Structure 1
């Protein structure tokens, strides 16, 4: 009887240790598990209401975003601030075809809201990296 009881106690201890380890495998608010953005880019001066947007999830990078890994890496380096993504020095055409970019969601548990209007898509991508590169394959 003592052997059975010792076996049960051992099994319960092992089970109790396994459950917190499984729960701990999740992510805290400090991790990217709470990082997602709904992104829209509209051409012209106003945002299209019909445009559903693109979901970017980080951890693991995914969602509907074609360049999720690069966008998540750039956001991580900028601590979730789109405006702090390093600007690329690119020769963009001097064509006025305004685009408005909007991001709303969470970065590591913190609410994020970003909006910016740029003279064209080239300038948008040079200023925001891969985050709003939604139309490129």
Structure 2
């Protein structure tokens, strides 16, 4: 978690900027009607070169929200949300695209995800052998 805070600070992100829309629901009075029929889903995805999240320097970050509709700065938000729904929101269950061939050149790329998926806190980090392998995973979630 310490490394994620460092990544967020490096990107100029704050909890209020990432989860601002979620705060109203979190501090609502008991018995108050929810402000939305959808469970909150707001994610920040980062990528950078390195061997692990502790040592990788973030090079790019995008936001992704999937409820009620796909939105955010992710270039393929609708596709990414569909793939996440298909994996039940579990990033470890995303499958690589079947028709992508990548070289075995080792140039490690790290992806991190922080936020909320359907009302549950998410924290995920993975290292891929190179950017082709990262982009092939899940088809579009990490391709940004």
Q: Same fold per TM (> 0.5)?
A: yes
Asked whether the 8 Å contact 1:102–1:116 carries over to 2, the reply is yes
- 1:37 equivalent to 2:43? Answer yes
Using the alignment, how far apart are the partners of 2:127 and 2:92 within structure 1?
12
How many corresponding residue pairs?
A: 107
The equivalent residue for 2:75 is: 66
**Residues 117 and 61 (structure 1), Cα distance of their counterparts in 2 relative to 1, 3 Å cut:** same
Asked whether the 8 Å contact 2:48–2:60 carries over to 1, the reply is no
SS at match of 2:137: helix
- 1:98 equivalent to 2:108? Answer yes
RMSD: 2.0
Q: Is there any run of 5+ residues in structure 1 with no aligned partner, and where?
A: 1-22
Structure with bigger gyration radius: 1
Asked whether the 8 Å contact 1:83–1:128 carries over to 2, the reply is no
Please identify, of 77-86 and 64-73, the stretch whose mean Cα deviation from structure 2 is larger.
77-86
The equivalent residue for 2:36 is: 26
Asked whether the 8 Å contact 1:102–1:113 carries over to 2, the reply is yes
Q: CA deviation at 1:47?
A: 2.6
Answer 1 or 2: which has greater helix percent.
Answer: 1
The equivalent residue for 1:76 is: 85
Q: CA deviation at 1:129?
A: 2.5
**Residues 105 and 119 (structure 1), Cα distance of their counterparts in 2 relative to 1, 3 Å cut:** same
